[in-house]
Amino acid sequence: MLLFKEIVTGIKLLESPFGGLWSGIALIKGKENILIDSGASAEVVNECLVPALQAEGLEPANIDILLNTHCHGDHVGGHYRFHQLSNAKIATWRGSLDKMRDPLKYNKLIRATFPEFSPPASTGLRGVEPDRLIDDGEIIAGRLRLLHTPGHDDDTVCWFDEETKTLICGDTLQANGTALQGVGFYQDLPGYRASLRRLMSMKINHLIAGHDYVPCGSVAVGAEKVQAYLEKCLYLTALYDKFIAEIMAHGERRPAKIARLLIERMGEQAPKYLFLALYTVTEHIKAGINAQ
């Protein structure tokens, strides 16, 4: 049975199953019990999240607030089922409202850009109606500050725990992607870099990511390790710039071929579906053209 693991005092992480990897669900226990993200599906809620909560002495009814880091299926796929089981108030960043109401629609849209390189849509996704909309900088439950950190997607956010100075960042920090991505995935390169610089300017003592990212991992405990994690993410964007420019200097212009060559340069395995890498490569090609 999968269990929550304590990362810092009062904040725990559940590595819920997701397509050969895992997707993180954070639990914050306090005056109000809070979940951040819900896993990929109703099955994950039933078979993984609920038993893990019970091992903590909690039932779904004991969760007061359900948050999310963004509206990709592996992070909000369990929202509808958890809403059925609990009385938790659902809160989300204001800009996520439409996606939270219909995550399947967006799941299809994100695949439509590169249809021949994308997997089928996650048809089991069901939307929920948030009880509360949160703005950038606003604090919820007296401790969690929302930070809008676009790049990976336009609704990507981090939750910064003011009590422990812990950043719960979902997919905001991509490093070199998960083991099944090949490279990091972002749809807005300038936004991603701006988000990294914003976080680097803050005093953050601990960091919890939504997946195990190559080569940084999923957790950084201690301010120096957090800063190193952030610096590595920013450095990798410059490395992608360099490698993509070299590939294109040799005459290659096909984004899919560039993506495969970049993944090879980074020492990773090409994924079954290339659409995530294609978004990233397209952003770097666009940045290179704009810089000329």
Here the contacts of 155-163 (C-beta below 8 Å, separation 24 or greater) are 155/70, 155/71, 155/93, 155/95, 155/96, 155/99, 156/69, 156/70, 156/195, 157/69, 157/70, 157/93, 157/96, 158/69, 158/199, 159/26, 159/36, 159/67, 159/69, 160/202, 160/204, 161/11, 161/28, 163/10
Does any domain span residue 58?
A: yes
The kind and range of the H/E element at 44 are: helix 42-44
What does the H/E/C string look like for 92-143?
EEHHHHHHHHCHHHHHHHHHHCCHHHCCCCCCCCCCCCCCEEECCCCEECCC
Give the Cα separation of 103 and 97 in Å (integer): 10
Q: Encode the chain (292 residues) as per-residue pLDDT tens digits.
A: 999 999 999 999 999 999 899 999 999 999 999 999 999 999 999 999 999 999 999 999 999 999 999 999 999 999 999 999 999 999 999 999 999 999 999 999 999 999 999 999 999 999 999 999 999 999 999 999 999 999 999 999 999 999 999 999 999 999 999 999 999 999 999 999 999 999 999 999 999 999 999 999 999 999 999 999 999 999 999 999 999 999 999 999 999 999 999 999 999 999 999 999 999 999 999 997 776 6
Range of the domain at 140: 5-235
The kind and range of the H/E element at 144 are: strand 144-148
Task: Report the chain's C-alpha Rg in angstroms.
Answer: 18
Does any domain span residue 287?
A: no
Q: What's the CATH number where 178 sits?
A: 3.60.15.10
| Residue 292 confidence (pLDDT) | 63
Does any domain span residue 44?
A: yes
| Residue 43 confidence (pLDDT) | 98
Contact (Cβ atoms closer than 8 angstroms) between residue 117 and residue 275: yes
Give the Cα separation of 173 and 209 in Å (integer): 7
CA-angle at 35, arms to 195 and 181, nearest 5°: 50
Does any domain span residue 246?
A: no
Residue 218, SS3 per DSSP: strand
Token pair of 171 as six digits: 């997919």
Does any domain span residue 176?
A: yes
Does any domain span residue 220?
A: yes
Domains identified in the chain, total number: 1
Does any domain span residue 270?
A: no
| Residue 186 confidence (pLDDT) | 98
Does any domain span residue 275?
A: no
